[in-house]
Amino acid sequence: MSDHKTMTLTLIVWRQKNANDPGKFATYTAKNITEHHSFLEMLDCVNEDLINDGKEPIVFDHDCREGICGMCSQIINGAAHGGQDRTTVCQLHMRKFKDGDTIYIEPWRARAFPIIKDLIVDRQALDKIIQAGGYTSCHTGGTPDGNTILIPKPIAEEATDAAECIGCGACVAGCPNGAAMLFTGAKISQLALLPQGKVEAAARVKNMTDTMSECGFGNCTNHYECQASCPKGINVKFIARMNREFLKAQFA
Amino acid sequence: MILDGKCPTGPIEKSWDKHRFDLKLVNPANKRKYNIIVVGTGLAGGAAAATLGELGYNVQAFCYQDSPRRAHSIAAQGGINAAKNYPSDGDSVLRLMYDTIKGGDFRAREADVWRLAQVSNNIIDQCVAQGVPFGRDYAGYLDNRSFGGAQVSRTFYSRGETGQQLLLGAYSALSRQIKLGSVKMYNRREMLDLVVVDGVAKGITCRNLITGEMESYAADAVCLCTGGYVNVFYLSTNAKGCSATAIWKAAKKGAYFANPCYTQIHPTCIPQAGEYQSKLTLMSESLRNDGRIWVPKKKEDIGKRPDQIPEEDRDYYLERKYPSFGNLAPRDISSRSAKEACDDGLGVGPGGRGVYLDFADSIKRLSEDTIRERYGNLFEMYERITDDNGYKTPMRIYPAPHYAMGGLWVDYNLMSNIPGLFVLGEANFSVHGANRLGASALMQGLSDGYFVIPYTIGGYLATIKPGLVKTDHAEFKKSVEDVSATTQKLLSINGKRTVTEFHRDLGKIMWNQVGMARSKESLTDAIKQIPKIREEFWNNVKVSGSGAELNQQLENAGRVADFLEFGELLARDALHREESCGGHFRVEHQLPDGEAKRNDADFSYVGAWEFKGIDKEPELHKEPLKFETIHLAVRSYK
């Protein structure tokens, strides 16, 4: 169907049957790939070939394929989501690669994200951090009119910058310490900036950072790899804000 | 059979308040004795699970993703409507109701739409309290946007990612209840059957997508919040995992399926680049405010670069065919016209399925900076996917299926015809009629989840004894056996064609013959072709691996198998509805200017289908629609 010339690529892909399997790299060839294939569509094509050859297809997490659900999660040539600025794997396109390239594909690698199979990892630790306090404890109904709470536009904008996190875990995968500081800092900052979230700010930062440690995430040593890995461009300043909130909470 | 929607009677302004008073209540101390299953964690499911848990019920929530934060509600860009009338531009609950009924081409229930408009304001308050960062003005007040189908500014938004922020709000409320223990969350589970005991919904059968185990869950009520079914077209803007499976399994257990032919095709999507691609990305249709749509006049020009085609050889077909509305013609007309141009061999780009959306004139008139200010993020997204710079060369766009107005039939309490089975959000049919207006899907999901089901489910639970059926009941065992047998069958066929190939075959028929323009001939043929694909599927599909592990091919095979049954029902519904209305366009029924020609005398009803067996004709039940507040009129956009 396409009128563009095609590429042939060598894929070196992490294959692991289940959590207990040691896992290993396997080599495949991706054929008839055009520059218009997204990275995941390229993998779809490889999987169709594998099925037709009677081999087990590669499993990987994905869903919305428009860069917002946060499900897709792959390390490509050593970079989370493939390293293109502000781009998830599902939005990465094959025009970023050349005919004949060799591409290494691995799952997120972090202590807090055990591998389930091939490129799929268990990210429930991120949910646990949110469950520890990533909310305002409001009830359904009985809330005041939306315009009762005025919020200066710059504050609302900064809270939105933090709220753009899609919870993919690239920050953890990119961090040499496997830390979830950017993820946690973004949620803590969003709610600490807004008047609705200030009421519970002290308890929130304590509970969320405690849970972060319990889940096996590491600490921040200012590499800024998280920001470089983040497909939504979440800024490391939110880690600094989390640290300030943490200090403030010691005196609350 | 004539169906009764059980709508309250009396003045519409008092209908929901009166109904809430009339509903029976469950004593707070008794609530914990009731178990409720919520399937799906999008806006409807997330909001429902959080609220029901908070009320004190025991909730079990399920999603197929790895976290309840990922459902496809998250991808909605534009905004959420509410009748706040903050700009004092004449909005009211009645006007929001009027716009929604008219936008739906008079095929929705008045009482349901009134309620939606009434609680729309509570939704905004709720989300603000949760810390959803809505767009604000410099005085700190909530800001509004204008949207299609309305003459007032009532759309609340958060940049171009309103769905994400609203869903994360619901997810945060849900997370709080999970921590408190009132909701037990089951990730990576796919519902594969509804368990019905003595005609009453009592639980579900799920496949654990990690271990492959079939699991039984019992409850006093089941809420399906599993979204829409337009992946039946293969090409769609839905997430890859979206399916009809949960609602179709319920339909096969006796739940009526209402108006399946009401599907919406969005006109401004990035075209398919090759057959391997099923997921299409939508771009806000606000682009049509400043872009001009055209195709080459001559077939020999379609391969040329657009700047090599002189002005006189371009056909600005919307401006030509609809001079008064031009490029802002309604969604259905714009979509259909693009398809016609491409069918005539004038489409541009790979595969000839695309039309140009050209900003050159606007850039000349307003400057590139102004266009960047208005649509910068959309141009950026377009470039990421296509590698084309929309400021320098026209964008290529094409319509794509993106929303299902049809769904399981429910009464005013959101309960299906199976007692104990409730259906919320896009999965039900209730408020959008034959066409949904922009920024109304988010409103419906949250309305159903936060502000409707918490009341109406109590009215049902108060009439039954809790905990009567447990998972050791014979119906649960039978359900697990049936589902396991189907799974084994899929794995044992070991044929020659992959699941995706069958999905693509089905999609071609659905898209070409049951898509934007439908005729008696195309539909009759589709109803003949679909069973043939289905038969081949069950004899020649190849699904590798085993059922006792994570197996994405197997998951997909089950979903496609269901689409192969459901697609036929969609076509049958479209064939039976001898009129055009909203998203359902029958070429035999159009006004001279190409507008949809409704037939109120014969078709002013909800068509709800009862499953009678595969390869058997389903039975049609009707719920007549009455219009007492808003008078039936020809929908005109001129």
What pLDDT digit, counting tens, does each position of B578-621 carry?
A: 999 999 999 999 988 778 899 999 999 999 999 999 999 999 99
CA–CA separation, A140 and A24 (whole Å): 49
Query: pLDDT by residue (tens digit) across B288-344?
Result: 878 999 999 999 999 999 999 999 999 999 999 888 778 877 777 788 889 889 999
Strands B257-258 vs B407-408: parallel, antiparallel or unpaired = antiparallel
Beta-carbon contacts of A237 under 8 Å, excluding residues fewer than 6 positions away, are none
Give the three-class secondary structure for B581.
Answer: strand
Q: Assign A3 a pLDDT band (cuts: 50, 70, 90).
A: very low
State both tokens at B501: 């190939």
State both tokens at B304: 């040329």
From the list A174, A150, A190, the residue with the least C-alpha distance to A229 is: A174
Q: How many CB atoms are located within 10 Å of the residue A119 CB?
A: 25
For A62, which residue in chain B has the nearest alpha carbon? B240
Task: Give the model's pLDDT for residue B374.
Answer: 78
Q: Which residue has the tokens 């009532």?
A: B154
CB contact burial B14-50 (16+ within 10 A = b; e otherwise): ebbeebbeeeeebeeeebebbbbbbbbbbbbbbbbbb
Contact B175 A135 (CB under 8 A): yes
| H or E segment to which residue B534 belongs | helix B520-540
Confidence check: pLDDT of A221 > 70: yes
CB B474 within 8 A of CB B490: no
Q: Which amino acid is at B611?
A: F
CB B118 within 8 A of CB B255: no
Contacts of A189 in chain B (CB under 8 A): none
Contact A93 B54 (CB under 8 A): no
Q: Give the rounded distance of the alpha carbon of A128 from its chain centre.
A: 15
ipTM score = 0.98
Contact A144 B141 (CB under 8 A): no
Task: Give the model's pLDDT for residue B316.
Answer: 96
Chain B contact probe: residue of A4, A17, A63 with most B CBs at under 10 A: A63
Interface contact A19, partner B, CB < 8 A: no
Query: pLDDT by residue (tens digit) across A148-182?
Result: 999 999 999 999 999 999 999 999 999 999 999 99
CA–CA separation, B59 and A160 (whole Å): 31
Query: pLDDT by residue (tens digit) across B381-431?
Result: 899 899 999 999 999 999 999 999 999 999 999 999 999 999 999 999 999
Q: Which residue has the tokens 């010691």?
A: A250
Contact A124 B187 (CB under 8 A): yes
Classify residue A176 as exposed, middle or buried by CB count within 10 Å of its CB (0-12, 13-18, 19+). Answer: exposed
Interface contact A199, partner B, CB < 8 A: no
Q: Assign A1 a pLDDT band (cuts: 50, 70, 90).
A: very low
CA–CA separation, B377 and B160 (whole Å): 8
Instruction: Give me the mean pLDDT over the B62-73 stretch.
Output: 98
Please list the active-site residues of B: 331
CB B120 within 8 A of CB B96: yes
| Angle at CA of residue A74, ends A71 and A79, nearest 5° | 130
CB A128 within 8 A of CB A211: yes
| Angle at CA of residue B560, ends B226 and B76, nearest 5° | 40
Q: Assign B636 a pLDDT band (cuts: 50, 70, 90).
A: low
State both tokens at B170: 């619901």
DSSP state letters, A156-176: HHHHHHHHT-----HHHHH-T
State both tokens at B330: 């309604």
CB B330 within 8 A of CB B637: yes
CA–CA separation, B510 and B526 (whole Å): 7
Share of chain B above pLDDT 70, in %: 99
Q: Which amino acid is at B314?
A: R
From the list B513, B421, B544, B38, the residue with the least C-alpha distance to B232 is: B513
Instruction: Give me the mean pLDDT over the B115-131 stretch.
Output: 98
Q: Smallest Cβ distance to A71: which of B70, B276, B384?
A: B70
Give the three-class secondary structure for A3.
Answer: coil
Share of chain B above pLDDT 90, in %: 87
From the list B510, B559, B4, the residue with the least C-alpha distance to B226 is: B559
Interface contact A96, partner B, CB < 8 A: no
Contact B164 A93 (CB under 8 A): no
CB A239 within 8 A of CB A182: yes
**DSSP single-letter state for residue B220:** S
Query: pLDDT by residue (tens digit) across B130-189?
Result: 999 999 999 999 999 877 777 889 999 998 899 999 999 999 999 999 999 999 999 999
Q: Which amino acid is at B17?
A: D
Contacts of B350 in chain A (CB under 8 A): 1-4, 36
Q: How many CB atoms are located within 10 Å of the residue B448 CB?
A: 33
CB B69 within 8 A of CB A135: no
Query: pLDDT by residue (tens digit) across B445-454?
Result: 999 999 999 9
